[in-house]
Each structure stands twice: as structure tokens, then as C-alpha cells.
Amino acid sequence: MDKMIICRCEEVTLGDIKDTAEQYDATAREIKLRTRAGMGYCGGRTCRPAVDKVLEDITGEKPGDQIPLKVQPPVRPVTLATLGGRTNDT
């Protein structure tokens, strides 16, 4: 069970999150920053419900509390080149 991958982008397992919580007596936000769960390429759009639930179970914090697990999911990741005006025709 602990080998189950919660966040695929950063390859964070349930065990990683549990270990971090135990080792650092961390808040939900701190666990997220230490493990990078939900902070990968996809912006947490895939794993966020799972990350929220796992962190809530482990720390007892409700997601969206006073110090929220800040989420800024992009519509899609874009490159600096795209922002700079390059057209992407692939």
C-alpha cells in the first residue's frame, strides 16, 4: 500500500508522504513542499484530490484551511518560447 504512487509527476508514494509527516512532524503544506506531491509538470490536476485526502488523513487538516495547499493549476503548461510568440504547429 505504501508503494502506491500518489503523485506521478514527482513520483511521490504514499510511503514517502507518511515518512515525511512522521520525520518532520509536518503540516499538510510542509509535506507538500518537502515531497513536491502535486507540484509537478501537470500542476496537480491529476493527483490533487488524492493528495488532499491523504494529507487530510495524515495531518487532520482540512484542505483549504487558513494556510491552504495553494493550487494554481495551469490550463496547460506552456513554454517560454510560446509566451514569446512562437507558434506551435505540431
Partner 1 sequence: MTHKQMRIIDHPVLGAMNERDIMTFTFDGHTYKGFKGDTIASALLANGIRQLRVHEERGTPRGIYCNIGHCFECRTTVNGVSGVRACLTPLKDGMVVTSGQTEPVPLNSEHDVDELPRTYTEFIQKQKAHEAGDSDA
Q: How far is the CB of 24 from partner 1 (least distance, A)?
A: 13
DSSP 10: T
Cβ-proximal residues to 50 (8 Å cutoff; 6+ apart), any chain: 6, 7
Q: Give the nearer residue to partner 1 in terms of CB position, either 24 or 41.
A: 41
Q: How far is the CB of 45 from partner 1 (least distance, A)?
A: 6
Contacts with partner 1, residue ranges (CB under 8 A): 8-9, 11, 41-42, 45-46, 76-77, 79, 88, 90
Q: How far is the CB of 39 from partner 1 (least distance, A)?
A: 13
- CB burial of residue 45 (10 Å; 0-12, 13-18, 19+): middle
